[in-house]
Structure 1
């Protein structure tokens, strides 16, 4: 008998807690799948009720949202910030439940919910590469579904892996439903994005979160220095990509989403002699654009994320 085989460690067994968590995730996804058969308005009303119920319960996220609003809008009264934060919880819950429609409903049903407008043809099918600048409004998944549904060629997008395998598969499958070449993991960094852009594949990215100091610069966002990823101007310069901002707005009355592809940003990024001429100015332009859209619908921006978590050297935490 082979001694090496006798001494080999047995294969790792799945822990009971892990199995229970996996079963719970599959059970939850089953319940969500059943939910998608309801009328869209009914799903929206359930999302509203869940958001209102979470407001008093999710204390940590509530505190983050209120602190972000305090930093960005010090001129507002406490009551104004509370009103927007509470409405934001409703938007977060509604957007999460809307995924059952985005990721399981028929294209015909989606056409009644997703209203795509703006420079769509130019951004998706124009010559050369295109960087689709998605932003962290709660309709970001609605924007991606609308773009891939409208495209006549595959698109690529960014993706943050989930801890739960069942949830991870749900997200990947949902975001890959229509005309998708590849969903690039954020762990792959900018290299996967750059390869797609150099192949001429339009790429949808969401750069407006705090991912730490690496590859970021401190650029004002509503007057507060915020760690801002420098990927968009660098990628656009390296691939000679045109940049089109994409913003999704949750419509009142449970009417779905209006997704706008804004005109191409002329002169972005600033390049001189084949190199980036003013990276800070490019990033400030991006943040100023986000600020303008936030002012139009402040309750729909992703305030439950610690946007100002990373601080310049020597500065204390803001949370």
Structure 2
């Protein structure tokens, strides 16, 4: 990464810092206005959300789908602004937003066992707040897919290493050498964080059902668990309320053991169990899941199916 790209990444951080100083009430108002604008203009976020709801929730009546689409866009826009605040404020202040915790005993027991831990963190609720909570509890390696822009990557590296996390969080690019690095961390009794619901590259995953639709799903998590014997826990920070009258939002931290089948030697069995667990979490509060992501672009070979997002 060049010096200029790094400097531009720092500039983006300064802009995020300024946005993160907005009062909570104004932040919520701007988020709602942005969501309304997406809907009115038929922006990418709105179109992708609508298509995903058609694919994953075909049983909804049109009015129900409209309501859920609006709720998803509001949550997504508010969360985008909230995350700027989380990235640019002290972590202790951010973690005070977590008002409830559930399942901490599973996390503590997995750390105490010393045989490695894989934290599967779906795109549900606020996963950046979860990252900060994990970093407060233990050193960890986080697998991430780098943005297409080098400037964007410089920005992410800056914000995710903030708050004293630089020495506690190892950011691992989702590329060839990553697998060896993650195995090393786990075999040393360490902790690895993985977003399990990102679509991998063609040839790097297995097709398994997700909300009734075949979705190319990562096999990496299952391979790591099966070959190392590491514990696998699902974790997410679910929004309890969106904040009102100028109050900040509040969150509940959830930690649950993953089904044993996520570590199955059969990739199809492992990915099916993985997707079923993520789907169950997403169904808890559908508006808090990342429906603005094109999860189903790649289709099973020989299926004759087209990319369902063409024209949307």
TM-score category (smaller protein): 0.7 to 0.9
User: 1:103/1:93 Cα in 2 relative to 1: closer, same or farther (>3 Å)?
Assistant: same
Aligned to 2:76: 92
- Unpaired runs of 5+ residues, structure 2, are 244-248
Conserved in 2, the CA contact under 8 Å of 1:91 and 1:138? no
* Structure 1 residue 122, shift from structure 2 partner: 4.0
* Structure 1 residue 301, shift from structure 2 partner: 1.4
Spell out the pairing of 1:142-221 with structure 2 (5 A cutoff).
142-149=129-136, 151=137, 153-177=138-162, 178=165, 180-188=168-176, 189-221=178-210
* Structure 1 residue 26, shift from structure 2 partner: 5.9
For 2:261 and 2:56, locate their aligned partners in 1 and report how far apart those are by CA, in whole Å. 28
* Structure 1 residue 61, shift from structure 2 partner: 3.2
User: 1:182/1:108 Cα in 2 relative to 1: closer, same or farther (>3 Å)?
Assistant: closer
- Unpaired runs of 5+ residues, structure 1, are 1-12, 271-275
* Structure 1 residue 223, shift from structure 2 partner: 1.4
**TM-score normalised according to structure 2 size:** 0.84
Aligned to 2:232: 243
Aligned to 2:66: 82
For 1:166 and 1:256, locate their aligned partners in 2 and report how far apart those are by CA, in whole Å. 31
* Structure 1 residue 212, shift from structure 2 partner: 3.1
Conserved in 2, the CA contact under 8 Å of 1:222 and 1:291? yes
For 2:55 and 2:67, locate their aligned partners in 1 and report how far apart those are by CA, in whole Å. 16
* Structure 1 residue 267, shift from structure 2 partner: 5.8
TM superposition outliers: structure 1 runs of 4+ over 6 Å? none
For 1:41 and 1:251, locate their aligned partners in 2 and report how far apart those are by CA, in whole Å. 17
CA-atom RMSD, angstroms? 2.6
Aligned to 2:246: none
Conserved in 1, the CA contact under 8 Å of 2:208 and 2:216? yes
**TM-score normalised according to structure 1 size:** 0.82
Aligned to 1:263: 257
For 1:101 and 1:116, locate their aligned partners in 2 and report how far apart those are by CA, in whole Å. 20
Conserved in 2, the CA contact under 8 Å of 1:133 and 1:205? yes
For 2:300 and 2:262, locate their aligned partners in 1 and report how far apart those are by CA, in whole Å. 26
* Structure 1 residue 138, shift from structure 2 partner: 4.6
Conserved in 2, the CA contact under 8 Å of 1:116 and 1:146? no
Spell out the pairing of 1:48-59 with structure 2 (5 A cutoff).
48-59=32-43
* Structure 1 residue 50, shift from structure 2 partner: 2.0
Conserved in 1, the CA contact under 8 Å of 2:144 and 2:172? yes
Conserved in 1, the CA contact under 8 Å of 2:208 and 2:272? yes
Aligned to 2:117: 130
Moved more, 88-97 or 57-66: 57-66
